[in-house]
Structure 1
């Protein structure tokens, strides 16, 4: 039985055509999804962990970056495979495989990871603005709310333009660090030695886990499995095989570029700070100041520009991932701007509280903590992904082979084991250092940790013990109903909102086409003056008097043509007033002209049509002006 699901990111699903293209044009058609994903590997969180690692341990943690990148390459390719072969994203696959309560828990953990990621973008953006324009950090944090408008604009322009914006941001980041490499001139021999693995403990383990969390980001696994579905492919075996090949090429190029940027940041920190005796540069601001004192003004300016570019691009991918996990895990679909604003507000609160209570200097530690939180959530995304892509019943001949499965499970166990070690060390440290808080630790922290551990064991063993028996997923729009004989529909009371624009003629024309001369028509106009909005009742100002005369003119003309029409004036908010009159008149059809707003105007003026549609239980016919 085929598993039902709604399209992931439905507004851009299969929006980029890859068919009837050959050679480089075909490769270029597939390039894009991995670049959006790779942005998460170059965000301000990476900067914080790379700078902390480079300044404290020199080049010794480069091997951690390399291993993290290889793990990321493996897992992102599995994520792309899931999306291409089955046409579902990771959240949708989890919804179909696990019980509702488990999915809710997975959603909460994934949402916390996205908030942690967004927190890093907020801090990075605020720091970048502070370094370039001396803007106070708290104002920079609050200013990041405005990037919601940029996101709406880019998503409205289509997937290709969104990808072009992201790639241009990546180019700025890469060019900035390439230039800085020439300025710093690192020791090539020492850099090569950094690729040799070493022991991890204490602070080096903490930073290493932060690097892993900043590199192998859990929300990117959800994102990649969805973004690959923006490509329209031939669903034959050959078409799927070709799509897997081209997306793997896309992933290799994008993630290796991200690795080079991350390595450049760590090498920059090691060459500029560790080499000069600055061993504890955990703050991005400190890195900026030290770069200026050591190398002059050019390096720190490039540093700040790249920081802003990485933060701005990463916040867009975080929003898309948030939309995917919300729709997939808990079957809730809301407007992208609301989704973006919700995530941003949830991330701004801890940033503002940190600045207010602990000062600007605490943001660096908060940045690294956010990356550790990302790492702690990784197991809950990786384990289901490996199960789903290895399942031959749903993946068929495209299920992962034994070698890939072994490598993937080793990666998962290494990440989970490091996280368990970190959590255990942290809890033991709290018990030893804060004896007065032991009761709270035993009563709250340890049960929560045990519950999360039990959830992790459940999602690991459930598919093994009970096999992957997926159920059809409940889709946001519901299932199609059977169509049989249609009875004729007669509308007796038709309501037609009027705004005295070019839409009026078309709205009235379509209205009378639905009801004919046997129906009665109510023409509605809402007065939106300040007085009307404030009192929400009748006001006889100049605008009201003028609108009443105009509305009566329409009514008289319709009556002269043989139609039964009357006028009603509403006051205050348009949608609320229209709905009130519709209910008073017992209308059984509403005919509305579309206002023609686009994105930004909808934010300022609101979308009356959508609001009315959700507030009434009668049909709404929306007429677009010709």
Structure 2
């Protein structure tokens, strides 16, 4: 009853799109939010592991991967947001409507595996951060991270705004914790510019590049973003729809732009401080923490740990939210939030309990995520190109072509990785 009452109160407080249009820039600010929730998933602990490892091991070589992945993310998230706006339904719901029964079940199964891999990275990251900051055992830190994520999701009972504000606050902590260190680092501008030229240095760099891609273009948030925009505001005219579409694009550029800045900061800081220096252990989160303290000072080290903690808390909450959208959309089933939190938390706790190296688990989880991207991208591109689904918001042919290229690049990169790893 409390959740129903809160939803009705939220509905009474909601203004119309026409009123927002008349408010000018203040009306646009009131619409911003969904992309910032999605952006948290693009700076989760898996990004910390892959980006710092890439910078420490290969310098500025893979800068281009982060830039390309962020541009891909902007395109993909704009399509997902537009799908929810145009149809009032999420991507999983539309997949269920347009795919066969067995196709829908397969899509649900692989999406759930993606959600588990996502939660693995997020919980491990939060646990490592608590260990670095307070010396807590990793298993205890994982439990605390799961509990905090559950608390964040509880804010949804008060409407979408409290949850979004909490996530934006945590995103701000991540941004300050990492970008402040970037400004204190002596960056080689020439090497940074050279890193914009695509290239690899063997199979290990390809694994990291695939991990960066999986950590940046997150499959679960492709499903989620379409749900974040559906039924958020009701459009009563074509002008309303165009206003929300334009504002949504601004939301995505700002949210994904901040996420891209954070990701780039990680790699550049690692390249400037660790590459070729002989600082030990920079392929682990613990080693990065120690290395920042050695190369800069304790402020940089604890800024990194606090950012990692905020990332673990925020992204774990967003990941569990995405899991709800996936199950409800594909299967029309909804399980209690606490049970879902426990089910997705279990694999991470097993990894922590058995003492698996947390950084290696994070990097491998991101590689797993990259293999889930095509299964989210293909139906997204297909559905947003169908006028019968999208109406006037159907993709332009150029947009569809660009999305097909993005999907092909992801599939090709993963194919090369498999060949080099198992057959090369």
Tell me the residue number matched to 2:384.
389
Q: Which structure's CA Rg is the greater one?
A: 1
2:113 maps to what in 1?
112
CA distance in 1, matches of 2:371, 2:332: 24
Aligned residue in 1 for 2:288: 287
User: Within 1, Cα distance between the matches of 2:211 and 2:387?
Assistant: 34
- Alpha-carbon distance in 2 for matches of 1:275, 1:68: 26
Query: Which residue number corresponds to residue 132 of structure 1?
Result: 133
Q: Name the counterpart of 1:486.
A: none
In structure 2, the partner of 1:368 is: 363
CA distance in 2, matches of 1:11, 1:405: 38
Match of 1:313 in 2: 314
1:379-458 correspondence runs (5 A)? 379-428=374-423
- Give the superposition deviation at 1:426: 2.9
Sort the Cα spacing of 1:202 and 1:47 in 2 relative to 1 into closer, same or farther, 3 A: same
Cα separation, 2, equivalents of 1:407 and 1:190: 29
Once the two structures are TM-superposed, the CA of residue 140 in structure 1 deviates from its matched residue by 1.6
8 Å CA contact 1:61–1:194 kept in 2: the answer is: yes
1:219 aligns with 2:230: no
TM-fit CA distance, 1:275:
4.7
CA distance in 2 between partners of 1:11 and 1:197 (Å): 52
Q: Tell me what 2:74 maps to.
A: 73
Deviation by residue 1:207-234 (Cα, 9 ceiling, x = unmatched) = 0000000000001111100001252132
More strand by share: 1
- Alpha-carbon shift at residue 27 of structure 1 (Å): 0.6
Larger RCO, structure (CA 8 Å, separation 6 or more): 2
| TM superposition shift of 1:264 | 0.3
- Paired residues for 1:456-471 under 5 Å: none
Gaps of 5+ in 1: 1-9, 430-626
Match in the other structure for 1:333 = 334
For residues 534-545 of structure 1, the aligned pairs below 5 Å read none
Q: What per-residue deviation string (whole Å, max 9, x for no partner) do you get for residues 156-196 of structure 1?
A: 23211111111111111111112212332222232222222
SS of the residue aligned with 2:274?
helix
Change (3 A) 1:347 1:409: same
Do the aligned partners of 1:30 and 1:231 also contact (CA within 8 Å) in 2?
Answer: no
Q: Which residue is 2:205 aligned to?
A: 204
SS class of match (1:42): coil
Root mean square deviation, CA, Å: 2.0
Structure 1 residues 149, 255: closer, same or farther in 2, change over 3 A? closer
Normalized against structure 2, the TM-score is what? Answer: 0.93
The match for 1:500 is none
- Shift, 1:262, TM fit: 0.4
3-state DSSP of counterpart to 1:67: helix
Of Structure 1 and Structure 2, the greater helix share is in 2
* Aligned mates of 1:88, 1:200 — CA distance in 2: 43
- Please list every run of 5 or more consecutive structure 2 residues that lacks an aligned counterpart in the other structure: 1-6
Distance 2:89 2:8 in 1: 15
Counterpart in the other structure of 1:60: 61
The 2-side partners of 1:291 and 1:425 are apart by 33
1:46 and 2:36 are equivalent in the alignment:
no
Q: Against the structure 1 CA distance between its residues 106 and 232, is the aligned structure 2 distance closer, same or farther, given a 3 Å change threshold?
A: same
Kept in 1: contact 2:149–2:316 (CA 8 A)? no
Say whether the 8 Å CA contact 2:153–2:163 is kept in structure 1.
Answer: no
2:251 maps to which residue? 250
- Give the distance between the partners of 1:279 and 1:100, measured in 2 at CA: 52
**Residues 332-341 or 43-52, more deviating:** 332-341
2 CA distance for matches of 1:106 and 1:162? 28
Alpha-carbon distance in structure 2 between the residues aligned to 1:66 and 1:305: 25
Q: What pairs with 1:3-22 in structure 2 (closer than 5 Å)?
A: 16-19=14-17, 20-21=19-20, 22=23
Equivalence for 2:352: 351
Contact (CA 8 Å) 1:17, 1:29: kept in 2 or not?
Answer: no
- 1:289-343 per-residue CA deviation (whole Å, 9 max, x = no partner) reads 1111121211101111111001101011101110011011111112223222222
Flag the 1:54–1:249 CA change in 2: closer, same or farther, 3 A.
same
CA distance, structure 2, for counterparts of residue 97 and residue 204 of structure 1: 38
Task: Please name the residue that 1:259 is paired with.
Answer: 260
Following superposition, the deviation at residue 126 of structure 1 comes to 0.8
CA distance in 1 between partners of 2:8 and 2:271 (Å): 44
Instruction: Show the counterpart of 2:4.
Output: none
